Amino acid sequence: MKILIATTNQGKLKEFKRLLKDLDIEVLSLKDMNNTFEVEEDRPTFIENAIKKAKEYGDFYKLPVIAEDAGLEIEALGGFPGVYSARFFALSTFGGEEPVQDNKDRANILKVLRLLENQENRKARFVSNVVFYNPENSTEEEIDKGFGLWSEGYCYGEITTQPYGEEGFGYDPIFKPEGYDKTMAQLTPEEKNKISHRGKAVRKLIKNLSKLLS
């Protein structure tokens, strides 16, 4: 069985490949499809964005798809950046725009650190919503009802006052998971997958997927 991972984020893709490596499936990415279109993540919730991506890529490529929408929720910012996590630096209506000097991940990090300057409450969580969609036999209605396969995972922690570490991607250098005195970017890929929002969501999805395939 072939499964398309609907992401252009190479950091995410690496983590998915590692998490799915024991399944008897061929993992394809949007790069393998020479994909040229991007599905706009314009829905108000993670699950709606994940369903939208799964459906649009699955219907277009006629392949079973795993799609994820993930992000960082910071308590003191009322849950922001949330669904805006990837493009938080450009969100002028919340905290102003952050100029991109090196790359977007870095600009997102600088904006979070700026907004949390002198803030004592640094509690945050990563959220992952993952959806499996097979264009041959799952309808959007089934997914909406939780009948199609979807799962969620959370990783709780806090935001550091400066970035540490080179591993991972996105906000990893400023996120210190609960019980660790290192950031996510200072963990090995195996360590991160063990405790991450994505690891938890994907392991739950695999359990259900295996039942469906057996």
Minimum distance from residue 166 beta carbon to ligand IMP (Å): 13
Q: Does 171 bind ligand IMP (CB under 6 A)?
A: yes
Q: Which is nearer to ligand IMP, 124 or 143 (CB)?
A: 124
Minimum distance from residue 148 beta carbon to ligand IMP (Å): 19
Q: Within 182-201, which residues bind ligand IMP (CB under 6 A)?
A: 196, 198
User: Residues near 85 by Cβ (< 8 Å), separated by ≥ 6?
Assistant: 70, 71, 72, 108, 170, 171
Catalytic residue among 32, 69, 102, 172: 69
Show the binding pattern over residues 138-167: x = contacts ligand IMP (CB under 6 A), - = does not.
------------------------------
Q: Within 27-56, which residues bind ligand IMP (CB under 6 A)?
A: 41
Minimum distance from residue 200 beta carbon to ligand IMP (Å): 11
Contact 117, 110 (CB under 8 A): no
102 in active site: no
Q: Within 51-80, which residues bind ligand IMP (CB under 6 A)?
A: 68-72
Residue nearest to ligand IMP (CB): 170
**Residues in contact with ligand IMP by the rule CB under 6 A:** 7, 9, 41, 68-72, 85-86, 108, 126, 168-172, 196, 198
Which residues participate in catalysis according to the annotation? 69
